[in-house]
């Protein structure tokens, strides 16, 4: 069964893996060095991220390097966009209220 992209990024270890490989492609062993978990546990996280197409494997000799897939992250950004407009409107209203309060204090 294919993993849901939101479930994939809900895990802090998987988010950290995404941050690591967004900077540069890495092997599972290189990723595992950044965590206090087993190499097998890192592999399970990699599998979830790969099933969601958030990362892509690339064979290089005997090693597999995983690359970040920014195009897939657009799904998350698109979903968040609906909230972004609401948040910006609320922050604008809050700014006005705070400015009015500051004006009254003077």
Domain residue limits at 35: 1-68
Same domain, 106 and 78: yes
Do 55 and 94 lie in one domain? The reply is no
- Continuous H helices in 24-69: 28-32, 39-51
The gap between the terminal CA atoms of the chain, to the nearest Å, is 62
Query: For residue range 51-105, what is the model confidence (pLDDT) as tens digits?
Result: 999 999 999 999 999 999 999 888 888 889 989 989 999 999 999 999 998 888 8
Q: CA–CA distance from 58 to each of 11, 19, 64, 106 (Å)?
A: 24, 18, 6, 63
Predicted TM-score of the model (pTM): 0.76
CATH of the domain at 26: 1.10.10.10
Q: Which of 97, 35, 26 is nearest to 55 (CA)?
A: 26
On whether both 7 and 41 belong to a single domain, the answer is: yes
Q: How confident is the model at residue 1 (pLDDT cuts 50, 70, 90)?
A: low
Q: Which residues 6+ apart lie within 8 Å of 99 measured at CB? A: none
Whether 45 and 7 map to the same domain: the answer is yes
Residues 54 and 17 in one domain: yes
User: 40 and 88 share a domain?
Assistant: no
Please give the tally of structural domains in the chain.
2
Render pLDDT for 3-62 as a digit per residue (tens, 0 to 9).
789 999 999 999 999 999 999 999 999 999 999 999 999 999 999 999 999 999 999 999
């Amino acid at each position: 069964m294919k993993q849901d992209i939101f479930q994939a990024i809900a895990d802090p270890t998987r988010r950290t893996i995404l941050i690591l490989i967004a900077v540069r492609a890495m092997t599972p062993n290189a990723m595992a060095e950044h965590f206090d978990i087993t190499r097998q546990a890192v592999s399970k996280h990699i599998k979830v991220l790969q099933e969601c197409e958030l990362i892509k494997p690339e064979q290089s000799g005997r090693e597999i390097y995983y690359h970040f897939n920014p195009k897939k992250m657009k799904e998350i950004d698109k979903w968040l966009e609906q909230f972004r407009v609401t948040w910006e409107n609320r922050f604008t209203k809050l700014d006005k209220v705070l400015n009015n309060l500051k004006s009254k204090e003077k």
